[in-house]
Chains A and B, each alone.
Chain A
Amino acid sequence: MTTVESQLRTVEHADRGPLSRDEMAQAIARDIEPGSYVNLGIGQPTLVADHLDGDSGIVLHTENGMLGMGPVARGDAIDPDLVNAGKAPVTELPGSSYFHHADSFAMMRGGHLDVCVLGAFQVSQRGDLANWHTGAPDAIPAVGGAMDLAVGAKRVFVMMTLFAKDGSSKLVESLTYPVTGLACVSRVYTEHAVFDVGADGVVVRETHGTTVDALRERLPVQVRRLED
């Protein structure tokens, strides 16, 4: 299988529709190196676990103090003392370990996690992330581990829809939502395209159900092709 890492040219899949959530999760799973330590954020990113190859040696970290997290627990396997970051009951895999919160976040902050996958309200062209607070005056602020994950993992992947419900792009020139972390996101997976973001701006790696030229019409940021 060709990994996206070795890709030299932008691939446009204009002949089929946008990616489903599961296909987005599959695309992310494909880009995670075997043997990686990975944290999957609450919500959509948890779908990535369903697409990881059991033989890949990828180890899942959960912020509440576990490496080697297994699938969601069902029936008799449910233990209220064994939960994931979303407080859902999970299972342990052979080789798993438990540790306290300061160690768990040292794994993030200390750069020991290879990849984390997070949802987002907005990502800026330089990789700034907004995913913790809408900024609405009546919202109760709650940050959890979002800011720690954003600055901690070696690579931060975002999984999100490209456009908000009002049609506006969630890939933006600069954030209008409250910041979670600055210049921390390296790649953004959406149903329409996969982007690299960072100091060099936005590069389109692949499109789904659209073309780079069509995206340029709808996005408020300048985008390049890999070969540009």
Chain B
Amino acid sequence: MRVLDADAAVADVADGATVLIGGFGTAGMPFTLIDALVRHGARDLTVVSNNAGNGSTGLAALLAAGQVRRMICSFPRQVDSYVFDDLYRAGKVELEVVPQGNLAERMRAAGAGIGAFFTPTGYGTVLAEGKETREIDGRAYVLEYPLRGDVALIAARRADTAGNLVFHKTARNFGPVMATAATTTIAEVDDVVDAGGIDPEAVVTPGIFVDRVVAVGAEQRIAAREGASA
């Protein structure tokens, strides 16, 4: 694990990459890393995130910059998702809607080396059309495949120098799962403490899943969320 600044942390994100972006709405969204990705300018990205941006900051800013070719998410349409809505209606961004639990489990499977899994979610719906199904012990299931990222951008409360992470309340959401599912996982955190500074019993994401950490500071994190740094 290396501690870097945000621009250095995302410098090797390639055009066409699949980027997993944590957050549920704005809770747990890695605003500072997304701002750096906007400055970096990688294009034709496939972005996997629960939503498709709120307001004009964070994921919405990445969409507005025209860097996203395809969104894979569970719930794009929100009261303040106007950036995505306009791009989608103009045919400028593709959309794959995935039930929220399948989205999480597909990334969990990717991170856990599972080749595919049968889930009851979505059976009999348009989101399962064309997919393999099977009846197991009298219940109907749909075959779903893993969802891997080239890069995961997540936000956590704190890291230690071994890359272990702890999170903050419901901002945890997709972070720990995405950390396991990407080739390179980058976490922005409020602060980085020495190894041993986090109780091993309290570690949520072990450092093996974390490649780069960016110490943002709580104040800058909040400012980035409010759009003050944009």
User: Which A residues lie within 8 Å of B98 (CB)?
Assistant: 143
- The answer to whether B121 touches A98 (Cβ under 8 A) is no
Q: For B95, B108, B173, which residue has the most chain A Cβ atoms within 10 angstroms?
A: B173
Q: Which residues in A have their C-beta under 8 angstroms from that of B107?
A: 102
Whether, in the assembled complex, A136 has its beta carbon less than 8 Å from a beta carbon of chain B, the answer is no
B160 CB-CB contact with A under 8 Å: no
Q: Would you call B10 an interface residue if the criterion is a C-beta within 8 Å of the partner chain's C-beta atoms?
A: no
As a 0/1 sequence over residues 150 to 163 of chain A, the CB contacts with chain B under 8 angstroms (1 = contact) are: 01100000000000
Compute how far the CA of A79 lies from the CA of B108 in the bound complex, rounded to whole angstroms: 28
The residues of A that contact B27 with a CB separation of less than 8 Å are 64, 80-83, 87
Residue of A nearest to B99 (CB): A147
Cβ of B104 under 8 Å from chain A: yes
* One of A64, A146, A182 near B170 (C-beta < 8 A): A64
Of the listed stretches B1-9, B38-46, B62-70, B122-130, name the one at the interface; the rest are far from the partner chain. Answer: B122-130
Quick check: A66 and B170 within 8 Å, CB to CB?
yes
Given the interface contacts A65-B173, A100-B173, A105-B101, does A144 sit within 8 Å of B75 by beta carbon? Answer: yes
Cβ of B177 under 8 Å from chain A: yes
Q: A108 — nearest CB in chain B belongs to which residue?
A: B101
| A contact face: mostly helix, strand, loop, or mixed | loop
Q: Is the interface of B mostly helix, strand, loop or mixed?
A: mixed
Q: Are B121 and A151 in contact (CB under 8 A)?
A: yes
- Tally B residues with Cβ within 8 Å of A: 49
Q: How far is the CA of A111 from the CA of B124 in the complex (A)?
A: 19
Instruction: Name the residue among A98, A105, A106, A146 with the largest chain B CB count within 10 angstroms.
Output: A105
Question: Is residue A224 within 8 Å, beta carbon to beta carbon, of the partner chain?
Answer: no
B residues less than 8 Å from A81 (CB atoms): 27-28, 168-171
In the complex, A100 Cα to B102 Cα: how many Å?
A: 14
Give, as a whole number of angstroms, the nearest-CB distance from B204 to chain A.
8
Chain B residues closer than 8 Å to A66, beta-carbon distance: 169-170
CB-CB nearest in chain A for B80? A87
With contacts A101-B104, A105-B104 taken as known, whether A151 is within 8 angstroms of B172 at the C-beta atoms is no
Contact of B100 with A63 in the complex, beta carbons under 8 Å: yes
With a cutoff of 8 Å between Cβ atoms, the chain A residues found around residue B30 in the complex are none
Interface pair B77/A142, CB less than 8 Å apart = yes
Complex Cα–Cα for A143 and B101 (A):
10
Residues 83-114 of chain B: 1 if any A CB is under 8 Å from the residue's CB, otherwise 0?
00100110000010111111111011000000
In the complex, which residues 99-132 of chain A have their Cβ closer than 8 Å to any Cβ of chain B? 99-102, 104-106, 108-109
Give the docked Cα–Cα distance between A154 and B193 (Å): 43
Tell me if A17 is interfacial: C-beta within 8 Å of chain B. Answer: no
Min CB distance, A170 to chain B, in Å? 19
Q: Which of B100, B119, B174, B177 has the most CB of A within 10 A?
A: B100
Is B146 on the interface with A (CB-CB < 8 A)?
A: no
Q: How far is the CA of A108 from the CA of B105 in the complex (A)?
A: 12
Contact yes or no, B125 A180, CB < 8 A: yes
Contact call B125/A87, Cβ cutoff below 8 A: no
Q: Is the CB of A140 within 8 A of B169?
A: no
Given the known interface contacts A151-B121, A179-B124, the answer about A145 and B101 at a Cβ–Cβ threshold of 8 Å is yes
Q: How far is the CA of A143 from the CA of B50 in the complex (A)?
A: 10
Residues A140 and B122 in contact, CB atoms below 8 Å apart: no
Closest chain-B Cβ to A144's Cβ sits at a distance in Å of 4
Contact of B176 among A79, A100, A152 (CB under 8 A): A100
Contacts of B104 in A (CB 8 A): 100-102, 104-105
With A81-B171, A101-B177 as known contacts, state yes or no: A148 contacts B100, CB within 8 Å: yes
A148 to B123, CA, bound (A): 10
Contact B174 A100 (CB under 8 A): yes
For the complex, is B175 an interface residue (Cβ under 8 Å from A)?
Answer: yes
Q: Please report the C-alpha to C-alpha distance between residue A83 and residue B171 in the assembled complex, in whole angstroms.
A: 8
Tell me the complex Cα distance, A179–B73, Å: 19
Docked Cα-Cα span, A102 to B77, in Å, equals: 22
Chain B residues close to A by CB (< 8 Å) = 24-28, 50, 74-78, 85, 88-89, 95, 97-105, 107-108, 119-127, 140, 167-177, 204, 225
Q: Show 5 A/B contacts (Cβ-Cβ < 8 Å), sorted by A.
A: A82-B169, A101-B173, A104-B104, A147-B122, A179-B124
Give me the 6 closest cross-chain CB pairs, A-B, nearest first.
A105-B101, A148-B101, A81-B171, A101-B104, A144-B75, A87-B25
